[in-house]
Structure 1
Amino acid sequence: MLVNAVALLGAAVIAVPLFRRLGLGSVLGYLAAGLLIGPFGLGLFSDPHAILRFAELGVVMFLFIIGLEMRPSHLWHLRRQIFGLGTLQIAACTLGLTGVGMAFGFSPVVAFVGGAGFVLTSTAIVMQLLAERGDIALPHGQKMVSVLLFEDLLIVPLLALVSFLSPAVTTESDTPHWISMLTGIGSLAGLIAAGVWLLNPLFSILALARTREVMSAAALLVVLGSALLMEMGGLSMAMGAFLAGVLLSESTFRHQLEADVEPFRGLLLGLFFLAVGMSLDLKVVADNWALIAAAVPAMMVTKALCIYIVARVTRSSHAEALDRAVLMAQGGEFAFVLYGAAAASGIIDDTVNANMTAIVVLSMVLTPLVVIVVRRFIKPASQSMDGIPIADGLEGSVLMIGFGRFGQVVSQALLARGVDVSIIDADVEMIRAAQQFGFTVYYGDGTRLDVLRASGAGKARQIAVCVENRKTADRIVELVRSEFPQAQLLVRAFDREHARQLVGAGVDYQIRETFESALQAGGAALRLLEVSDSEIADILASIRERDAERLALEIAGGGYEAGLGMLLRNTAQTPSRPTPFSKPRTEGKALNEVPGASPSESPT
């Protein structure tokens, strides 16, 4: 057992960083590692399905964490996407995939079971890919999450349908379907009741113990207990964990629960992908290579095409529809459950079960590769410029370049005084968002000389450079200084080194983006320590003066070390009045001196 554990961890530790380094993603690394050490590779494991069953807990914990981010009100807001979009996409894909199965010579029932299993997208793979891109919380990511949730719910009626389609004779000892349905509904109601009335009081009591391991154990108990309750009711374990997360999403313990579950989630989810890689039966693939080689692309392309059509019908953009089609074109882990039930019911034989399982596993393995290929070889669709004003013939007395978080604040003072400000930005989505709040922002790239002329830079009294990229700001400063010398130039600096370069470039005013806000935070800290406002003002003025002197010394050629030495000497010599919370300071030691600090870590 210890050898197996070392093999699993070693394969993951070696393969995942290597594949990420190659730009292939962590999911493909796990799958390749599983194939290497599995029964059809080095043969270190003989029963990957046992590992797969245990590793499904990673998917369970993943959905618990997703549930923690979805408040009930937000979930209710997604109801149309979950049941509307989910139903439409699943119906279209099931019809298309059933047709593919019949085209390969399977009977309508077998083709339907194969297609229905392939419709159930891999929650683990899609969620992991979305998480790596940071897209789960974005609108297009939320649509995919909604469909995945509906598919998790769909496994229950599909299993019931498989039982109904079974050619075997039902005995009197079999549990009636209506009892199974009542059991499922009862499990769901019991989980909701426990979440509403028991979970928060439980964690409140445990928090009084102030024992971290007890809280961690309680978090695992909630996740695994809710999964067990749903499985006992014939429902999805992942759905149970997700509902538990939703019920705890407004709890004061939400962040603590997420921190406790996260390490287990990452490890078990990686184990799940390893087990999927092990499950690829190369012997079955070799014996039926013609069927599998044709069926895998046929099933993936058909499903992707159906998803794309549904997305476009529901008014998604081409880029969003294509992204959803590529990410969700594979089969998923619930297909193994459905195929196993169908084989046990006599609907499909063992050979068909093995072939369908291999098709699903290969589709899961190919998905990360397809995503990479699509991203590299298909150019993203150009943004629509409908309703976007283009910078042309502007004549404002102030030209502002960049309307991000910094530019928006700077513009408020000018607009409040009634100054005629022309604003340009190259971000179409930001321009649309600004229009919703009554701001007129023109589309224009400030690094292009023709755009600056069209934006009125030749007549502007001031040009404020508020872009969020240092190289872009430097390019604009170079153009403005050489082509529009009449304009005063105000620039957002990103750090001390950048500020020094801007002063050397001859700008009229520069300010580091965090300098004044950090000073105000320091003043607020002193105020809370009962320092008088007059003394705070003197201290802040002194810091500004020393900073300006240090910057001047660095510009004059003294360098960073000379400037820092002057700052430390002046700080140590500055008298300070004791406060009720102050402590004596060692002579010659500055409060902000950090041993071994690099220039980037120094106070600014």
Structure 2
Amino acid sequence: MDGHGYDLLVKDALIFLFAAGVVVPVFRYLRLPAVVGFMLAGVALGPYALGSLTHVQPLLEYVSVSDPEAAAPFAELGILFLLFLLGLEFSFEKLWSLRRAVFGAGGLQSALSAAAIGAVVYFAGLPAEAAIICGLALALSSTAIVMQILIEQKRASRPVGRAALSVLLFQDILVAPILIFVGFMSVGENANVSAALLEAAVKGFLAIALIMLIGRFALRPMFRLAAMMGGRDFLMALTLLTVVGAATITATAGLSLALGAFLAGLLLGETEFKHQTEVDLEPFKGLLLGVFFMTVGMALDLPSLVTRPGLILGGLVALLFVKFLIVFAACRLFAGDRLLALEAAFLLAPAGEFAFVVIAAAGSAGVLDADVSGMLAAVAGLSMLLIPVLGRVGAFAVSRLATREPSGALDADFSELKGHVIIAGFGRVGQAVAHILDTEEADIVALERSVVRLAKERKDGWQVFLGDAARPEILRSAGADGARLFVVTVDDVAAAEAMVRSFRTLRPDVPIVARARDHEHAARLREAGANHVIPDAIESGLQMAGRALAEFGYDAETVRSRLASERDEQYSVALGGA
């Protein structure tokens, strides 16, 4: 590397670190999301803003990024780690439960969006080839930004997060066919597109099969060896090898890098090293993703926006409107209720990072001229900049609609969901249970009989539905057939007993944890089929006794020992006769 190139690399690295360590925290202080902060920093420090003024004031060269392409490899790593960590939070069982949404909602959204956008561009005057490329480029959404927003809000494993991920996963699968199609459009009529697509499908299948084989038979032994021999240093090296290696395998087969990283996360999530890996990678993921978001801001073509604002803003509005309607329809049909579909539509309506890849490939192939490429890039960049804002608008709209229209019945079908927890009653006790389970990424379906409480908790993002958990049809809709645990938190004696009996009739094999008012209520719940009963009176008395002992000067260890002994005795008395 020559001295000048090295100086540029160091200078650009300092600017990226300055943005991450100083500029973005200032935006966060102003209550802007980190994603928006990084993108705005990219716009300001990029080649189309301060970077374009270096010929007027040479000193600006030291505070602007002259070559954003130099950051591309680091930005790509950020996306890989995001998808890898997302894969860690899922499982093959969860992924299989999303198959209908992946191929149904994802397939319908991608096809209709590409066709609709292509048709609009064609009737606006572009040739058919260019119109098809525009449709394919803008049909896909931003995996990096959408999933990062949902992860920050701790909603990636909630219904809207699963729906968004389903659509985005299908879009990732389309990467190879779209790039092949773009390449063949510049070759001519004699090219055998179908043969190339078939070859790509075979390569993709073999790549995924290879990753699965390595993950199933080699990953756990390798991590155990690294843990025994070298501790965290070797584990970090092996984790990086797993992420980059899986991404390289899928990229070699023509699939996206992100898909390989996601599969690697799924496989490692099945091992005992899942939580340690999450902790080790979290800081690196945030910084590298910040670099990616800055490169998105730098790609925003400000000169095109200034010279043709009407055309670009009109294209932006048309893109958001068309994709919003299509995403809403696709998610409503295949992924969930209309409130979920509405919020997903706001998140997925903008374009994604893949648009820049398609635009660049089409420009190199001569299918798109420079003016059209610049306008497309400006529309895509502006739409991505709006994703955090649109996400908040969607969440607000859903909360208002949920408040106005609490459903009179269970308005979503979870009958195919597996491994989740059903909570009957979502008052203070139910919410406390849900908060703790949510930190462990458990899927939760809550049933509540109060319309007022339902509206409030839905507004806060919980998956709560109006329904009586004593009714078998409601329990089936909540996914009783696949539930891992049933928790009853209502304090109504008769209602709680009826709920336990109904669920036990449907699922004799699933544990039931129930809240009881007193000893007598606890005995009745045990008789109805509850495995574990927690009497309010006992726990309240123990907590008060513990506070009293502490006030008398007993140390914490003695208090815990006395309470444990008394708890065992009280529960033996309360539940022994049941």
Q: Give the TM-score taking structure 1 as reference length.
A: 0.66
Residue 29 (str. 1) matches residue 37 (str. 2):
yes
The structure-2 alpha-carbon separation of the partners of 1:302 and 1:74, relative to structure 1 and needing over 3 Å to count, comes to same
Shift of 1:284: 2.6
Residue 45 (str. 1) matches residue 56 (str. 2):
no
Deviates more, 1:312-321 or 1:284-293: 312-321
Residue 427 (str. 1) matches residue 435 (str. 2):
no
Equivalent in the alignment of 2:496:
none
The answer to whether the 8 A contact 2:467-2:474 is kept is: no
* Structural mapping, 1:348-497, within 5 Å: 348-375=368-395, 379-381=400-402, 382-387=404-409, 402=427, 404-405=429-430, 426-428=452-454, 429=464, 432=467, 434-435=469-470
Counterpart secondary structure, 1:248: helix
Residue 7 (str. 1) matches residue 28 (str. 2):
no
Counterpart secondary structure, 2:469: helix
Equivalent in the alignment of 1:567:
552
Give the percent of matched residue pairs that are identical in Structure 1 and Structure 2.
35
Distance in 2 between residues matched to 1:241 and 1:300, nearest whole Å: 29
Distance in 2 between residues matched to 1:401 and 1:182, nearest whole Å: 49
Give CA deviations for 1:516-548 in whole Å, capped at 9, x if unaligned. Answer: 3x7xxxxxxxxxxxxxxxxxxxxxxxx93x844
Distance in 2 between residues matched to 1:343 and 1:326, nearest whole Å: 29
Give CA deviations for 1:162-200 in whole Å, capped at 9, x if unaligned. Answer: 22322558799xx96655554433333322221122111
Equivalent in the alignment of 1:505:
none
The answer to whether the 8 A contact 2:28-2:37 is kept is: yes
Residue 138 (str. 1) matches residue 133 (str. 2):
no
The answer to whether the 8 A contact 2:304-2:378 is kept is: yes
Equivalent in the alignment of 1:267:
287
The answer to whether the 8 A contact 1:304-1:328 is kept is: yes
Counterpart secondary structure, 1:370: helix
Deviates more, 1:352-361 or 1:182-191: 182-191
Shift of 1:435: 3.9
The structure-2 alpha-carbon separation of the partners of 1:93 and 1:178, relative to structure 1 and needing over 3 Å to count, comes to closer
Equivalent in the alignment of 1:277:
297
The answer to whether the 8 A contact 1:24-1:369 is kept is: no
Distance in 2 between residues matched to 1:180 and 1:31, nearest whole Å: 34
The structure-2 alpha-carbon separation of the partners of 1:338 and 1:547, relative to structure 1 and needing over 3 Å to count, comes to closer
The structure-2 alpha-carbon separation of the partners of 1:146 and 1:571, relative to structure 1 and needing over 3 Å to count, comes to closer
The structure-2 alpha-carbon separation of the partners of 1:41 and 1:547, relative to structure 1 and needing over 3 Å to count, comes to same
Distance in 2 between residues matched to 1:249 and 1:342, nearest whole Å: 38
Give CA deviations for 1:122-141 in whole Å, capped at 9, x if unaligned. Answer: 00111012112222111222
Which aligned runs of 4 or more in structure 1 are off by greater than 6 angstroms? 169-172, 437-440, 510-515
Shift of 1:272: 0.5
Q: Which residue, out of 338, 358, 370, partners 1:318?
A: 338
Give CA deviations for 1:54-95 in whole Å, capped at 9, x if unaligned. Answer: 311111111111111222122112111111221111122122
Shift of 1:99: 2.1
Equivalent in the alignment of 1:202:
222
Distance in 1 between residues matched to 2:395 and 2:162, nearest whole Å: 20
Counterpart secondary structure, 1:40: coil
Distance in 1 between residues matched to 2:351 and 2:100, nearest whole Å: 24
Distance in 1 between residues matched to 2:66 and 2:352, nearest whole Å: 22
The answer to whether the 8 A contact 1:155-1:235 is kept is: yes
Distance in 1 between residues matched to 2:196 and 2:345, nearest whole Å: 38
The answer to whether the 8 A contact 2:100-2:334 is kept is: no
Task: Give the AA of the match of 1:404.
Answer: V
Task: Give the AA of the match of 1:249.
Answer: G
Q: Give the TM-score taking structure 2 as reference length.
A: 0.69
* Structural mapping, 1:113-192, within 5 Å: 113-168=133-188, 179-192=199-212
Distance in 2 between residues matched to 1:401 and 1:230, nearest whole Å: 44
The answer to whether the 8 A contact 2:83-2:258 is kept is: yes
The answer to whether the 8 A contact 1:24-1:372 is kept is: no
Shift of 1:427: 2.9
The answer to whether the 8 A contact 1:24-1:368 is kept is: no
The answer to whether the 8 A contact 2:212-2:267 is kept is: yes
Shift of 1:208: 1.2
Task: Give the AA of the match of 1:287.
Answer: T
Shift of 1:314: 4.1
Give CA deviations for 1:250-303 in whole Å, capped at 9, x if unaligned. Answer: 112222222222222111111100111111121232233332121111111111
Distance in 1 between residues matched to 2:264 and 2:35, nearest whole Å: 26
Shift of 1:148: 0.4
The structure-2 alpha-carbon separation of the partners of 1:185 and 1:430, relative to structure 1 and needing over 3 Å to count, comes to closer
The structure-2 alpha-carbon separation of the partners of 1:430 and 1:110, relative to structure 1 and needing over 3 Å to count, comes to closer
Q: Which residue, out of 103, 118, 136, partners 2:123?
A: 103
The answer to whether the 8 A contact 2:325-2:345 is kept is: yes
Distance in 2 between residues matched to 1:12 and 1:36, nearest whole Å: 13
Distance in 1 between residues matched to 2:375 and 2:451, nearest whole Å: 54
Larger CA Rg, structure 1 vs 2? 1
RMSD value, Cα = 3.7
Equivalent in the alignment of 1:221:
241
The answer to whether the 8 A contact 1:16-1:30 is kept is: yes
Equivalent in the alignment of 1:340:
360
Equivalent in the alignment of 2:576:
none
Distance in 2 between residues matched to 1:406 and 1:180, nearest whole Å: 48
Equivalent in the alignment of 2:24:
16
Distance in 2 between residues matched to 1:75 and 1:157, nearest whole Å: 23
Between Structure 1 and Structure 2, which shows a larger proportion of helix residues? 2
Distance in 2 between residues matched to 1:377 and 1:340, nearest whole Å: 36
* Structural mapping, 1:219-298, within 5 Å: 219-298=239-318
Deviates more, 1:87-96 or 1:369-378: 369-378
Residue 66 (str. 1) matches residue 74 (str. 2):
no
The answer to whether the 8 A contact 2:351-2:383 is kept is: yes
Distance in 2 between residues matched to 1:185 and 1:353, nearest whole Å: 33
Task: Give the AA of the match of 2:315.
Answer: A
Distance in 1 between residues matched to 2:275 and 2:43, nearest whole Å: 36
Task: Give the AA of the match of 1:288.
Answer: R
The answer to whether the 8 A contact 2:116-2:322 is kept is: yes
Distance in 1 between residues matched to 2:198 and 2:100, nearest whole Å: 28
Distance in 2 between residues matched to 1:404 and 1:425, nearest whole Å: 17
Equivalent in the alignment of 2:436:
none
Shift of 1:49: 2.7
Q: How many residues matched?
A: 444
Distance in 1 between residues matched to 2:355 and 2:368, nearest whole Å: 13
The structure-2 alpha-carbon separation of the partners of 1:406 and 1:369, relative to structure 1 and needing over 3 Å to count, comes to closer
The answer to whether the 8 A contact 1:403-1:425 is kept is: no
The answer to whether the 8 A contact 2:142-2:352 is kept is: yes
Deviates more, 1:377-386 or 1:287-296: 377-386
Equivalent in the alignment of 1:76:
96
Give CA deviations for 1:327-357 in whole Å, capped at 9, x if unaligned. Answer: 0011111111112222222221222222211
The answer to whether the 8 A contact 1:280-1:361 is kept is: yes
Equivalent in the alignment of 2:503:
none
Task: Give the AA of the match of 2:552.
Answer: L
Equivalent in the alignment of 2:231:
211
